[in-house]
Structure 1
Amino acid sequence: MTIQAMESNQTPSALRCSASVSHSRLCTAGFDSNAALNALGALCNYALGFGGAQAGAAPIEMPERIRELPPEEFPRLTAASDNYASHLSDQAFEFGLALLLGGLRSHLG
């Protein structure tokens, strides 16, 4: 739903309809109404936050900025500096989403 909203010019009415459908699907999956609202919020906020991070990222500068950190204080981060931009990739989004969905599934028991 969030990705649809970001990629289109949906009206507030259409967004409410999407939220309603998503909430209903989560309830049908076994969440009570409040848990479904929380799950919907978590999914939407994850997508919006990740999209915002991608949009605001400067992947060309970031590895160099990380390399400038003191390696004795940040040994793992500085060692990973060449791959730092990958944490904003589509693959990273899918990885995080899979973790989030797995957590939601475990909540259902």
Structure 2
Amino acid sequence: MLMHNPPHPGEILKQLCLEPLGLTITEAAQALGISRKSLSAIVNGRAGISPEMAIRLSLAFDTTAASWLNQQVMFDLWKAEQHRGNLKVKSLVTVQLAE
């Protein structure tokens, strides 16, 4: 079941990891071994969590990579579902009526 309007994982990262530890984006980016620009894009919802980033976050914050990827998938799927009605798809499943 899809969560209603799930937060972007960057929002979770900011609220549950960076802010409680008093970390700036620059400090966290250095610890993660990435650029400040890359982390800023994630925190501000302009970029998603890749598998490699999920591993980096899991190592830095003692979480699981799967939890970060699951958050990203739920966010992406919810966003895509908002446009379901606009998709031009023909059903390939035929319904056979009972004889």
- Asked if Structure 1 and Structure 2 have the same fold, meaning a TM-score greater than 0.5 normalized by the shorter chain, the answer is no
Structure number with higher helix proportion: 1
TM-score (norm 1): 0.28
